[in-house]
C-alpha cells in the first residue's frame, strides 16, 4: 500500500496556474471543478467568448482527468475499451473517442493521445479509473492517474497559432488537426496538441506543473497584441454548444452511474455513429451495439435551431402535441446568431430539416412566459469554422 | 367506572404513538398504555446525569417516514431534525477515513487512500441506490400474502414483481445477488482498501446478529440507507432535544386528536372472550375495555407474555417461540467534561459531528462477530459514536458534551448465563478502552457513563433479548414473513387484535411505518376512510 | 490444422462434458471431446494413490445422478454398477452413542423420540422443497423479464408447484429458503449430532458455516438426490471412475469422438464468436460451437482470455467466488480399524464427524481468515468394504472429505499440508483409536492439489460457490446463466452452470438441449 500522506483536511485543490488565474479573475465568479478552484468568468462572459471566436481565449483545463496508459498491451487494451479502432491512431496523433459499458451505453467521451511505444494519455471529463482497471483484466498494462502531474491550457481562437509562434513554437502552423508536437520550454518539454473544445483553430498546451506559471506569463506576453484573454467556464460552455460538443453529466449520464433503468444512452443515440467501428474486433459494448444496429435505437440526438432568442433550456420537445423528447443543452450562439439546443428525442423523429416544437419557459421580472417555439432539426453544428481544419494554420 | 375506548395501544414507542395518532385522527377513542413512567419506548431522551440529556436507546434519525412527519404535523408539535452529513472511521495506524457529505471532498479523501476506490464509489453508490429505490416504495404499504388469491394481495404481488422486472434481466439477477450476498463480498466487488470497506460495511451489521461475511448483510445495509432527511436519501440527522423529541411530538399530535396516554400502566394481559379481544388487564388489576387492542410490543412479548396461549392457535405460539430476536448490540451513554480530541481530527472538523467508527478492516469486524457467536461481547468491538451536543445545545451544559456510543457485538446472554453487573462493567470497560485507543484524553473527561447491555434494554425498554429491531432482519422475518408468515398484515390471530411494532413490516429503526401501516389495516377493517399517506413517488 | 470438421468440441471430459457430448451426438451432431488427463472423468475418477490401493479421488458418493441421464444414455448397459446403495449416514460420537440417519428415519441411543418424530416430518417437507428445486434444475433457468412462451410455461409450472405445496409448506419455504441451516435445525431438533450431520450436508464443499444464511438452499441442493431416487449415498463399483468409464462408453456409442491426453491451450474466438480450439503443440481444431466443461474462471481467464470478452464480463468472471474449502484424505489400511460402537456393516455406511453445529461454526471461523480448521469436520467412506477391487484382500481404503481447508491458506499449503494431514488423522483417531496402527500409506489432496490434479479452479469442486448469489439466474453470473456464454458459440456445460455442482449430469444435459435449440446468428436465446 502507498505511504499514507499527511493531509490538509479540506484537501481543496488549486491548479498550477492558480496564482495567475486568481489575478486575472476580476469579478469573483468561481466554481468547484472536481475539487479545483476554477473561474466561471474572469471579466465578462461575452468578451471572453468573443476572444475564442475572434482572437485567442485561454482556458485552464488542468482539472481535466488525465491517465497515463502504458505497457506492452496498451494499444490492444485501449482498442478493447474504445469504440473506435485505436490501431489506426498513429503515434503523434490524438483521437476523439467514446467508450461504453457492456450494454453499449456511453460512459464518457475524451481525447486519446498516442505518444508512441504503447504510451498513451487519456483525457476525459469524468473519472474512469474503476472502469479502466476492470477493463485491464487480461492485459499487461499500467494505468496511472496523472491529473495533478500535468498542467494544461487550452489556447483557442483564430490568432492562437500566431500567439504560440510568437511565444517560440516555431513551425506550429504545420501541425495538423489532432496532431501533437513538442517544444523546449525553459529546459522542460512543452507538448502542444491541435485539439480543443471550441470548434475553431486551437491548441492545448501540456507541461509539468513547476513551469505552469512561467508558461502562462510567456503566453500572455506573446499574445498581448493578438487579443489574448483568459476565458472561464461559461464562455467555453457557449463555444462548445455552438460547436456541437457533448458534455458528460449534461448531455448524457455516464452509464455506470445510472440508477434508473434506461436512462443511459448508446453512441448511436448520441449521434456518435462515426466513432463506432463494429468490424474492428471485440470491444466493450460491441454485442449490445450490434443488437441495437439490428433492432434500432430508442433515441436520436439532434441539434435544433429554435425560433426566437430564448434558450430552450430543459424544454420538452413536441411533435404536434406529442411529447417526443427533451433538451439537454441550449444557448443563444452569438457568432452563428442561432438559438441552438441539443435534444434527445424519440428515434422515430428528428430527420434533418424536420420541424418540431420546443416548449420554452423564460422569466422576465418574475413573470414567466411559455412559448411553443418552432424549431428545425439541423444537419450539423452551427459553428464549423474551416480554420479548424486548415493546415498550415492560417494567420488569423 | 372506567371509560370505554375504541382502541387500546400497548406501549408508547414511536410506532405505538403513530398508530394511536392515526386511529385518533380517524375519530376513534384511543388510549395508549405505557409501563414506564415516561413515554417513548426506545425513542427517548433521559436525564440521567445532572443537566445532560441522553438519547439512551435510538440516537439518530433518518428512517422516520417524511410522509408521516408531515401528515401528523410533527414539526408543529416541536420536532426538528437537524441533518449531519458524513461519517468517519479511525485506522489503527493513526490515520482515518472521513466520509464527507460533499461529493468532491469525499472523492479527495477516498483518493488519498485509493484513487481506484474513490472512482469505484460512484458505481457503488449508484448500485446501492438502485436497490434502495426498490425497497423504499414498499415501506408504507402492507406486504402481500403470497399464498393468497385475494385481489388486494395479487395486486400488491404484481406491484412487487413489476418493481423487480423494471430492472431488466441482468438487473434483476443483480438484485437477487445483492439481496442474498454478504456485505463483505459485495464490497470486495468494488473496493480494495480495508478501511473503506470496513467503513461502508458498518451499515450492514448494525443491530444485526450477523457478521460482515454473512450472506444477507448487504440487505441490512439497505435498511440503513433507505431513509432520508429532507429528500436526501440515506442522510441521517439528530432530533433536537434527543430522540425523545420524536416521541414527544408524536404524543402531542396524538393528544391534538384527543387521544390519551397513561404511563405507569403495565399490561398484564390482553383479555379475550370467544375469539375476540375485549380489552386489557393491567398489572394493577384494573381492566380497560376496548374492541381493538394494538400491540406495540415485540412478537415474543406480545404472544408469549401478554396473551394467554389458550387464546391463541398453537401454531402462533410455536412461531412466536421460534421468532429470532437475538440481541447483538449494547450502548454507552457518556457525559463528558469537555470535547475529547481524536487522533488526526481537528476539533473543529465537520467529521466530529458525525458517526465515528473504530474498526478498520472487515476481518476485525468479522472477528468481533465471532466473539458474539461464542457468547461473549467483542473484545475488539465495533462502535458507532456520536457527540450530538456539538450540534444540539440542549443535550449538555455549555462546554460539556454528551456522547452516545453504539457497540457491536454484545450477546443476549454471556456464555449462556444472564448478564451480571460485573459483566456489564467489564463490557463498558472494553468499550471505553477501545475508544481511548483513538482519543488519548477521552477517559479523563468522563463524568458519568451509562452502560446498557441487552439485559438493560430488555428490562427497561422491553426489547426481548435486547434486539433493537424487535426481531432480526433476516429473510425469514422480512416482508410477508414479518413477524411470521400469514400474520404479516398487522392482524393478530384473534379478532380485534393487531400488531404495530418494529416486529412487523418494514421492521426496526425509528421509521413509524409499521405503526402507520397497522393503522391503515385497522381502519380498513372498521370500514373507515383511509388516513395513512401513500409513499412519495420516485426518489 | 485438421480438416475434420466438427459441429461441436467439448473441452474437458468431466461427467458433465461426457453427458453433454453424448446428448449432442445422440441428436446427430458430430462431436469431439478432448480430455487433458489419460482418462476421462474429471473429478469423478478413481485414483491409485498407493500400490494396489484405489479410491474415488474427488467426489466419493454417487447420490444425485439424474435417472433420465442414466436411462437415456443406458449407463448400466455401458458398465455402471453400484457396489452399495441407499447407505445410511452415521454421525459419530466419541462415546459410541452414534446417530444414524437412514432413509426410513433416524435412530440412536441418545436420540429422543421427539427428534425422531420431528425428523420424519422435517424430512418429508425437505423432500417436497427439494422436488421443487429439482424441477428448476431439470431445465434452463427461465428468462424472467423477457420471457418467451417456454419460459412462461416453466414459471407457471413452478408457481403451480409452489401452490401445490399447500399453504403451510409454501409459507415455510418462503420463510426458510434464504436463511441458515442453524436456525432451522434449532427450530426442529435437540440432538447435537443430528443437527451437526444435517448441517454438514448444508455446508459441504462451500464457504459457509451452519450459521451462514443461504445454507438452507445448499442443503436443499444436496437433498435433490432423494428426488432423483437416491435414498442415501451410493458407491460406484471400481470407484467413481466406473461412472466415468460408463459415460465414456455411452458417449462413444452415441458417436462422440473422445481424445485423451490432449491439452486444450485456448478456445479461439474472434469478435463474432468462437472458431474452435488450439491444442498444446499448436494443432487447431475448428468448430462453430465450443462447449467448455471447465469451470467458469478457467474457461474465461485461461482458455478464452479475458481480453477476448467485454470488460463487464471480465469483471463478472473476476468476481466469481470459487475458492475451495475441502481437502481429501486417502488412507491405505492393512486392516479394518475399530470404530467405537460400530460393527462392520455400519463401517460400510457413510460416516460423518460433525459433533454439533457450534463446533462446525468454530471450524468455519478459521477458514474465513485463511486458516484450516483446528477441529475439522469429516465425511468418511470405507468403500473397500463393499468393493474388493479397491484394495488387496484383507486391506482397506478409507477416504474422507476434510473441511475446512481454505484454498488460500495464509501459511501456504507447502507447510500446512503435513500438519493438516496429521490433524485429520488425529481427528479420526478419536473415533477409531487404533487407526494409526492400520495405516500403511496416506495422501492428502488440498484444494491446491485438487486444482493442479483435476483442473478445478481454486480447488472448488462445485466450480464455484453454491450461494444464492451464484445460483439460478446468477450462475455463473448474470447475463450468462443459460449455458450460452456472452461469446457466440461458446457454451458452458459444467458445474459452474445451472444447476451447479454434484454428480447429477443435469448441467451437461441442459446445456446440450440449449445447444440443440440454438440458432446460430441469434446471439440471445
Which domain, by its residues, includes C25?
A: 8-45+58-81+237-321+457-517
What is the rounded distance in angstroms from the CA atom of residue B314 to the CA atom of residue B336?
Answer: 51
Torsion of CA A149, A150, A151, A155, to 10 degrees: -170
Residue C241: inside a domain, yes or no? yes
Exposed, middle or buried: residue A279 (CB in 10 Å: 0-12, 13-18, 19+)?
exposed
Given A81, A131, A281, which is nearest C271 (Cβ)?
A281
Residue C145's pLDDT is what?
80
Residue C207: inside a domain, yes or no? no
Q: Are A206 and A340 contained in the same domain?
A: no
Does B120 contact chain A (CB < 8 Å)?
Answer: yes
Q: Are A55 and A168 contained in the same domain?
A: yes
- 3-class DSSP assignment, residue B468: coil
Q: Are A46 and A159 contained in the same domain?
A: yes
Strand ranges (E), B315-424: 329-336, 355-357, 382-386, 401-408
Instruction: Supply the angle between the helices C149-164 and C113-137 in degrees, to the nearest 10.
Output: 170
Cα distance from A295 to chain C (closest Cα, Å)? Answer: 12
Higher pLDDT, C255 or B234: C255
Nearest CA in chain A to B167: A261
What is the rounded distance in angstroms from the CA atom of residue C515 to the CA atom of residue C8?
Answer: 9
Angle at the Cα of B170 (from B164 to B174), degrees rounded to 5? 70
Q: Which residues of chain A have pLDDT under 50?
A: 1-6
Cα distance from B505 to chain C (closest Cα, Å)? Answer: 14
Nearest CA in chain B to C313: B170
Asked whether the beta carbons of residue C314 and residue A281 sit closer than 8 angstroms, the reply is no
Residue window 415-434, chain B: list those with CB within 8 Å of chain C: none
Residue A89 neighbours by CB under 8 Å, 6+ apart? A95, A112, A114
Asked whether the beta carbons of residue A130 and residue B167 sit closer than 8 angstroms, the reply is no
Asked whether the beta carbons of residue B189 and residue C319 sit closer than 8 angstroms, the reply is yes
What is the rounded distance in angstroms from the CA atom of residue A14 to the CA atom of residue A142?
Answer: 27
The grid coordinates listed for B398 are: 455549555
Does B370 contact chain C (CB < 8 Å)?
Answer: yes
Q: Hey, of A138, A139, A277, which one would you mutate to test binding to chain C, going by the most C CBs within 10 A of its CB? A: A138
Cα distance from C292 to chain A (closest Cα, Å)? Answer: 19
Tell me the per-residue pLDDT of B187-211, one tens digit each, with 9 for 90 and over: 999 999 999 999 999 999 999 999 9
Cα dist from A192 to A53, A218, A359, B309, B340, whole Å: 20, 15, 43, 85, 54
What is the rounded distance in angstroms from the CA atom of residue B365 to the CA atom of residue B236?
Answer: 23
Q: Are A214 and A342 contained in the same domain?
A: no
Residue C522's pLDDT is what?
44
Asked whether the beta carbons of residue B126 and residue A11 sit closer than 8 angstroms, the reply is no
Using an 8 Å CB-CB cutoff, list residues of chain A that contact chain C. Answer: 73, 76-77, 80-81, 101-103, 131, 134-135, 137-139, 279-287, 290-291
Of the listed ranges A17-21, C461-465, C517-521, the least confidently predicted one is C517-521
How many domains are contained in chain B? Answer: 1
Does B105 contact chain C (CB < 8 Å)?
Answer: no
Given B165, B177, B324, which is nearest C145 (Cβ)?
B165
Q: Where are the alpha helices (DSSP H) in B35-148?
A: 66-71, 103-113, 115-136
CATH number of the domain where residue C22 is located: 3.50.50.60
**Band of the pLDDT at C518, cuts 50, 70, 90?**
confident
Q: Hey, of A134, A277, A294, which one would you mutate to test binding to chain C, going by the most C CBs within 10 A of its CB? A: A134
Residue C143's pLDDT is what?
85
Cα distance from A259 to chain B (closest Cα, Å)? Answer: 5
How many domains are contained in chain A? Answer: 2
Given A1, A128, A259, which is nearest B126 (Cβ)?
A259
Residue B497: inside a domain, yes or no? yes
pLDDT at residue C1 greater than cutoff 60: no
Residue C175's pLDDT is what?
93
How many domains are contained in chain C? Answer: 1
Asked whether the beta carbons of residue A259 and residue B118 sit closer than 8 angstroms, the reply is no
Strand ranges (E), A18-64: 29-33, 36-41, 56-60
Residue C418: inside a domain, yes or no? no
Residue window 161-200, chain B: list those with CB within 8 Å of chain A: 166-168, 171, 190, 193
The alpha carbon of A14 is separated from its chain's Cα centroid by a whole number of angstroms, namely: 21
- Chain A residues in contact with B178 by the CB 8 A cut-off are none
Residue A155: inside a domain, yes or no? yes
Supply the ipTM of this predicted assembly: 0.94
Q: Which of A188, A216, A231 is the endpoint of a domain?
A: A231
Asked whether the beta carbons of residue C174 and residue B167 sit closer than 8 angstroms, the reply is no
Asked whether the beta carbons of residue A281 and residue C305 sit closer than 8 angstroms, the reply is no
Does A129 contact chain B (CB < 8 Å)?
Answer: yes
Q: Which of A231, A247, A266 is the endpoint of a domain?
A: A231
Q: Are A163 and A30 contained in the same domain?
A: yes
Cα distance from B46 to chain A (closest Cα, Å)? Answer: 35
The stretch B13-19 carries a mean pLDDT of 98
Tell me the per-residue pLDDT of A274-327, one tens digit each, with 9 for 90 and over: 999 999 999 999 999 999 999 999 999 999 999 999 999 999 999 999 999 999
Q: Hey, of A83, A99, A137, which one would you mutate to test binding to chain C, going by the most C CBs within 10 A of its CB? A: A137
Residue B300: inside a domain, yes or no? yes
pTM: 0.95
Asked whether the beta carbons of residue A102 and residue C306 sit closer than 8 angstroms, the reply is no
Of C478, C481, C483, the C-alpha closest to C517 is C483
Residue A236: inside a domain, yes or no? no
What is the rounded distance in angstroms from the CA atom of residue C274 to the CA atom of residue C515?
Answer: 14
Q: What share of chain A is helix, strand, coil (3-state, %, to 5)?
A: 25, 35, 40
Asked whether the beta carbons of residue C177 and residue B181 sit closer than 8 angstroms, the reply is no
> Helices H, strands E: what count in chain A?
8, 19
Cα distance from A7 to chain B (closest Cα, Å)? Answer: 9
Does B363 contact chain C (CB < 8 Å)?
Answer: yes
Which domain, by its residues, includes B318?
A: 5-45+64-81+240-323+467-525
Residue C298: inside a domain, yes or no? yes
The alpha carbon of B434 is separated from its chain's Cα centroid by a whole number of angstroms, namely: 24
Neighbours of chain A (3+ CB pairs under 8 A): B, C
Residue window 30-69, chain B: list those with CB within 8 Å of chain C: none
Given C176, C321, C474, which is nearest B173 (Cβ)?
C474
pLDDT at residue B152 greater than cutoff 90: yes
DSSP code for B533: P
Cα distance from A137 to chain C (closest Cα, Å)? Answer: 6
Buried-exposed string B343-379: b where 16+ CB fall within 10 A, e elsewhere? ebbeeebbbbbbbbbbbbbbbbbbbbbbbbbeebbbe
Nearest CA in chain C to A77: C307
Torsion of CA A71, A75, A80, A86, to 10 degrees: 160
Residue A125: inside a domain, yes or no? no
Residue B136: inside a domain, yes or no? no
The stretch B219-225 carries a mean pLDDT of 88
CATH number of the domain where residue A366 is located: 2.40.30.110
Nearest CA in chain B to C185: B322
Which percentage of chain C shows pLDDT scores above 90? 92
CATH number of the domain where residue B520 is located: 3.50.50.60
Is the bond preceding B409 in cis, omega lying within 30 degrees of 0? Answer: yes
- Chain C residues in contact with B216 by the CB 8 A cut-off are 178-179, 213-214
Cα dist from C505 to C15, C17, C73, C133, C466, whole Å: 7, 9, 11, 15, 17
Cα distance from A128 to chain C (closest Cα, Å)? Answer: 13
Cα dist from A16 to A36, A111, A126, A148, C357, whole Å: 10, 21, 20, 9, 62
Q: Are A302 and A203 contained in the same domain?
A: no
Does C408 contact chain B (CB < 8 Å)?
Answer: no
Q: Hey, of B90, B91, B108, which one would you mutate to test binding to chain A, going by the most A CBs within 10 A of its CB? A: B108
Tell me the per-residue pLDDT of B315-338, one tens digit each, with 9 for 90 and over: 999 999 999 999 999 999 999 999
The stretch C69-76 carries a mean pLDDT of 97
How many pairs of residues across A and C have Cβ atoms under 8 Å apart?
61
DSSP code for C218: H
Under 8 Å between Cβ of A195 and A202: yes
Does B489 contact chain C (CB < 8 Å)?
Answer: no
Does B167 contact chain C (CB < 8 Å)?
Answer: yes
Q: Are A155 and A55 contained in the same domain?
A: yes
- Chain B residues in contact with C174 by the CB 8 A cut-off are 146, 480-481, 485
Given A139, A280, A286, which is nearest C307 (Cβ)?
A139
Look at the block and give the residue holding cell 425498554: B461
The stretch B416-441 carries a mean pLDDT of 98
Residue C145: inside a domain, yes or no? no
pLDDT at residue B539 greater than cutoff 80: no
The residues pairing with C439 across neighbouring beta strands, listed in sequence order, are C333
Asked whether the beta carbons of residue C308 and residue A139 sit closer than 8 angstroms, the reply is no
Residue B2's pLDDT is what?
59
Residue A13: inside a domain, yes or no? no
Given B167, B366, B476, which is nearest C368 (Cβ)?
B366
Higher pLDDT, C147 or A263: A263
Residue B460: inside a domain, yes or no? no
Which domain, by its residues, includes A332?
A: 298-382
Does C114 contact chain B (CB < 8 Å)?
Answer: no
Amino acid at each position: 500500500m502507498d505511504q499514507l500522506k499527511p493531509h490538509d483536511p479540506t484537501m481543496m485543490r488549486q491548479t498550477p496556474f492558480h496564482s495567475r488565474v486568481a489575478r486575472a479573475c476580476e469579478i469573483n465568479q468561481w466554481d468547484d471543478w472536481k475539487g479545483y478552484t476554477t473561474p466561471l468568468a474572469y471579466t465578462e462572459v461575452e468578451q471572453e467568448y468573443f476572444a475564442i471566436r475572434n482572437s485567442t481565449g485561454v482556458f485552464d483545463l488542468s482539472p481535466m482527468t488525465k491517465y497515463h496508459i502504458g505497457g506492452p498491451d496498451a494499444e490492444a487494451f485501449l482498442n478493447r475499451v474504445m469504440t473506435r479502432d485505436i490501431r489506426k491512431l498513429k503515434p503523434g496523433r490524438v483521437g476523439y473517442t467514446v467508450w461504453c459499458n457492456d450494454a453499449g451505453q456511453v460512459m464518457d467521451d475524451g481525447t486519446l493521445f498516442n505518444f508512441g511505444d504503447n504510451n498513451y494519455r487519456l483525457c476525459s471529463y469524468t473519472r474512469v479509473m474503476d472502469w479502466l482497471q476492470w477493463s485491464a483484466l487480461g492485459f499487461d498494462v499500467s494505468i496511472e492517474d496523472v491529473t495533478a502531474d500535468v498542467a494544461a491550457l487550452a489556447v483557442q481562437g483564430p490568432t492562437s497559432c500566431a500567439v504560440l509562434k510568437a511565444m517560440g513554437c516555431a513551425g506550429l502552423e504545420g501541425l495538423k488537426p489532432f496532431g501533437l508536437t513538442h517544444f523546449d520550454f525553459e529546459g522542460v518539454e512543452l507538448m502542444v496538441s491541435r485539439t480543443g473544445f471550441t470548434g475553431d483553430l486551437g491548441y492545448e498546451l501540456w507541461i509539468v506543473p513547476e513551469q505552469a506559471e512561467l508558461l502562462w506569463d510567456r503566453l500572455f506576453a506573446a499574445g498581448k497584441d493578438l487579443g489574448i484573454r483568459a476565458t472561464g467556464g461559461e464562455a467555453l460552455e457557449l463555444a462548445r454548444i455552438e460547436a456541437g460538443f457533448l458534455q458528460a453529466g449534461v448531455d448524457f449520464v455516464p452509464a455506470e452511474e445510472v440508477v434508473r433503468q434506461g436512462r443511459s444512452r448508446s453512441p448511436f443515440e448520441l449521434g456518435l455513429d462515426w466513432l463506432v467501428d463494429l468490424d474492428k474486433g471485440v470491444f466493450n459494448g460491441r454485442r449490445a451495439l450490434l443488437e441495437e444496429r439490428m433492432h434500432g435505437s430508442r433515441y436520436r440526438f439532434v441539434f435544433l435551431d429554435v425560433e426566437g432568442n430564448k434558450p430552450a433550456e430543459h424544454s420538452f420537445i413536441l411533435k404536434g402535441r406529442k411529447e417526443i423528447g427533451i433538451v439537454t443543452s441550449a444557448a443563444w450562439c452569438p457568432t452563428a446568431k442561432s438559438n441552438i439546443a441539443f435534444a434527445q428525442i424519440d428515434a422515430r423523429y428528428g430527420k434533418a430539416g424536420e420541424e418540431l416544437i420546443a416548449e420554452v419557459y423564460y422569466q422576465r421580472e418574475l413573470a414567466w412566459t411559455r412559448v411553443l417555439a418552432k424549431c428545425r432539426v439541423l444537419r450539423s453544428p452551427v459553428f464549423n469554422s474551416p480554420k479548424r481544419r486548415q493546415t498550415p494554420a492560417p494567420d488569423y | 367506572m372506567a371509560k370505554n375506548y375504541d382502541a387500546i395501544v400497548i406501549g408508547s414507542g414511536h410506532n405505538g404513538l403513530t398508530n394511536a395518532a392515526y386511529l385518533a385522527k380517524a375519530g376513534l377513542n384511543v388510549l395508549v398504555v405505557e409501563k414506564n413512567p415516561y413515554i417513548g419506548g426506545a425513542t427517548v431522551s433521559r436525564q440521567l446525569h445532572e443537566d445532560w440529556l441522553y438519547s439512551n436507546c435510538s440516537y439518530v434519525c433518518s428512517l422516520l417516514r417524511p410522509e408521516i412527519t408531515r401528515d401528523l404535523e410533527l414539526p408543529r408539535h416541536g420536532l426538528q431534525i437537524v441533518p449531519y452529513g458524513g461519517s468517519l472511521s479511525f485506522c489503527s495506524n493513526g490515520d482515518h477515513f472521513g466520509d464527507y457529505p460533499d461529493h468532491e471532498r469525499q472523492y479527495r479523501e477516498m483518493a488519498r487512500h485509493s484513487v481506484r476506490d474513490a472512482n469505484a464509489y460512484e458505481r457503488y453508490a449508484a448500485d446501492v441506490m438502485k436497490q434502495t429505490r426498490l425497497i423504499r416504495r414498499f415501506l408504507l404499504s402492507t406486504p402481500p400474502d403470497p399464498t393468497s388469491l385475494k385481489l388486494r394481495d395479487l395486486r400488491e404481488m404484481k406491484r412487487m414483481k413489476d418493481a423487480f422486472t423494471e430492472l431488466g434481466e441482468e438487473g434483476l439477477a443483480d438484485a437477487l445477488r445483492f439481496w442474498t450476498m454478504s456485505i463483505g463480498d459485495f464490497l470486495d466487488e468494488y473496493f480494495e482498501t480495508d478501511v473503506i470497506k470496513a467503513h461502508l460495511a458498518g451499515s450492514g451489521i448494525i443491530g444485526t446478529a450477523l457478521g460482515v461475511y454473512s450472506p444477507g448483510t448487504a440487505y441490512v445495509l439497505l435498511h440503513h440507507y433507505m431513509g432520508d432527511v429532507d429528500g436526501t436519501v440515506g442522510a441521517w440527522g439528530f432530533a433536537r432535544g434527543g430522540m425523545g423529541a420524536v416521541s414527544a411530538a408524536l404524543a402531542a399530535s396524538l393528544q391534538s386528536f384527543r387521544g390519551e396516554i397513561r404511563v405507569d400502566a403495565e399490561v398484564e394481559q390482553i383479555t379475550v372472550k370467544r375469539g375476540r379481544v375485549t380489552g386489557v388487564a393491567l398489572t394493577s388489576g384494573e381492566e380497560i375495555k376496548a374492541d381493538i387492542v394494538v400491540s406495540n410490543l415485540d412478537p415474543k412479548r406480545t404472544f408469549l407474555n401478554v396473551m394467554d396461549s389458550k387464546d391463541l392457535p398453537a401454531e402462533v405460539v410455536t412461531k412466536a417461540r421460534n421468532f429470532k430476536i437475538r440481541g447483538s448490540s449494547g450502548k454507552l451513554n457518556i457525559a463528558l467534561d469537555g470535547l475529547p480530541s481524536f487522533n488526526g481530527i481537528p476539533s473543529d472538523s465537520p467529521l466530529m459531528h458525525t458517526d465515528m467508527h473504530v474498526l478498520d478492516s472487515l476481518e476485525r469486524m468479522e472477528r468481533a462477530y465471532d466473539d458474539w457467536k461464542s457468547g461473549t461481547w467483542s473484545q475488539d468491538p465495533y462502535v458507532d459514536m456520536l457527540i450530538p451536543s456539538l450540534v444540539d445545545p440542549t443535550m449538555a451544559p455549555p462546554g460539556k458534551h454528551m456522547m452516545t456510543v453504539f457497540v457491536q457485538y454484545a450477546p443476549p446472554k454471556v456464555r449462556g448465563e444472564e448478564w451480571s453487573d460485573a459483566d456489564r462493567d467489564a463490557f463498558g470497560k472494553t468499550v471505553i478502552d477501545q475508544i481511548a485507543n483513538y482519543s488519548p484524553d477521552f477517559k479523563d473527561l468522563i463524568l458519568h457513563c451509562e452502560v446498557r447491555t441487552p439485559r438493560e434494554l430488555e428490562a427497561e425498554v422491553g426489547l426481548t433479548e435486547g434486539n433493537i429491531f424487535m426481531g432480526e432482519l433476516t429473510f425469514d422475518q422480512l416482508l410477508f414473513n414479518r413477524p411470521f408468515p400469514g400474520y404479516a398484515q398487522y392482524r393478530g390471530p384473534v379478532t380485534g387484535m393487531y400488531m404495530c411494532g418494529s416486529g412487523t413490516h418494514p421492521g426496526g429503526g425509528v421509521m413509524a411505518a409499521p405503526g402507520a401501516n397497522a393503522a391503515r389495516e385497522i381502519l380498513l377493517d372498521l370500514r373507515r376512510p383511509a388516513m395513512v399517506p401513500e409513499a412519495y413517488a420516485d426518489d | 490444422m485438421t480438416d475434420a470438421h466438427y459441429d461441436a468440441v467439448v473441452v474437458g471430459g468431466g461427467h458433465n462434458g461426457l453427458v453433454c457430448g453424448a446428448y449432442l451426438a445422440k441428436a446427430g451432431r458430430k462431436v469431439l471431446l478432448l480430455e487433458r488427463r489419460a482418462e476421462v472423468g474429471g473429478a469423478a475418477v478413481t485414483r491409485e494413490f498407493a500400490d494396489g490401493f484405489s479410491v474415488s479421488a474427488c467426489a466419493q458418493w454417487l447420490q444425485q445422478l439424474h435417472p433420465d441421464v442414466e436411462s437415456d444414455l443406458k449407463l448400466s448397459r455401458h458398465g455402471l454398477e453400484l457396489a452399495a446403495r441407499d447407505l445410511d449416514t452415521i454421525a459419530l460420537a466419541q462415546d459410541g452413542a452414534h446417530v444414524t440417519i437412514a432413509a426410513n428415519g433416524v435412530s440412536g441411543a441418545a436420540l429422543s423420540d421427539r427428534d425422531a418424530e420431528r425428523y420424519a416430518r422435517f424430512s418429508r417437507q425437505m423432500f417436497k422443497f427439494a422436488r421443487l428445486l429439482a424441477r428448476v434444475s431439470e431445465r434452463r433457468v427461465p428468462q424472467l423479464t423477457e420471457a418467451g412462451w417456454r419460459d412462461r410455461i416453466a414459471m407457471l409450472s413452478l408457481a403451480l408447484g409452489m401452490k401445490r405445496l399447500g399453504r403451510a409448506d409454501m409459507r415455510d419455504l418462503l420463510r426458510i429458503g434464504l436463511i441458515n441451516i442453524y436456525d432451522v435445525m434449532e427450530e426442529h431438533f435437540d440432538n447435537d449430532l443430528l443437527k451437526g450431520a444435517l448441517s454438514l450436508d448444508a455446508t459441504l464443499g462451500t464457504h459457509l458455516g451452519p450459521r451462514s444464511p443461504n445454507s438452507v438452499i445448499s442443503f436443499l441442493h444436496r437433498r435433490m438426490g432423494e428426488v432423483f431416487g437416491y435414498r442415501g449415498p451410493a458407491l460406484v463399483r471400481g470407484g467413481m471412475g466406473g461412472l466415468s468409464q460408463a459415460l465414456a462408453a455411452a458417449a462413444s456409442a452415441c458417436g462422440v469422438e473422445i481424445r485423451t491426453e490432449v491439452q486444450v491451450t485456448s478456445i479461439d474466438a474472434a469478435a463474432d464468436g468462437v472458431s474452435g480450439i488450439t491444442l498444446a503443440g499448436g494443432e487447431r481444431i475448428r468448430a462453430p460451437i465450443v462447449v467448455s466443461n471447465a469451470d467458469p474462471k478457467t474457461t474465461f481467464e485461461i482458455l478464452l482470455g479475458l481480453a477476448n470478452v467485454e470488460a463487464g464480463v471480465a469483471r463478472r468472471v473476476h468476481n466469481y467466488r470459487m475458492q475451495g474449502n475441502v481437502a481429501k484424505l486417502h488412507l491405505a489400511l492393512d486392516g479394518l480399524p475399530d470404530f467405537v460402537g460400530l460393527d462392520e456393516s455400519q463401517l460400510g455406511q457413510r460416516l460423518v464427524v460433525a459433533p454439533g453445529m457450534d463446533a462446525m461454526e468454530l471450524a468455519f471461523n478459521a477458514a474465513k481468515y485463511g486458516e484450516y480448521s483446528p477441529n475439522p469436520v469429516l465425511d468418511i467412506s470405507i468403500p473397500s468394504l463393499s468393493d474388493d477391487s479397491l484394495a488387496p484382500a484383507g486391506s482397506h481404503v478409507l477416504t474422507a472429505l476434510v473441511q475446512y481447508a481454505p484454498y488460500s491458506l495464509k501459511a501456504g499449503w507447502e507447510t500446512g499440508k503435513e500438519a493438516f494431514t496429521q490433524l485429520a488423522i488425529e481427528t479420526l483417531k478419536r473415533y477409531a483409536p487404533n487407526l494409526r496402527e492400520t495405516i500403511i500409506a496416506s495422501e492428502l489432496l488440498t484444494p491446491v492439489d485438487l486444482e493442479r490434479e483435476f483442473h478445478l479452479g481454486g480447488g472448488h469442486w462445485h466450480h464455484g460457490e453454491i450461494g444464492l448469489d451464484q445460483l439460478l439466474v446468477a450462475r455463473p453470473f448474470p447475463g450468462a446463466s443459460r449455458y450460452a456464454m456472452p461469446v457466440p458459440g461458446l457454451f458452458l456445460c459444467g458445474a459452474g452452470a445451472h444447476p451447479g455442482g454434484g454428480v447429477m449430469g443435469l448441467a451437461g444435459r441442459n446445456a446440450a438441449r440449449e445447444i440443440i435449440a440454438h440458432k446460430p446468428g441469434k446471439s440471445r436465446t
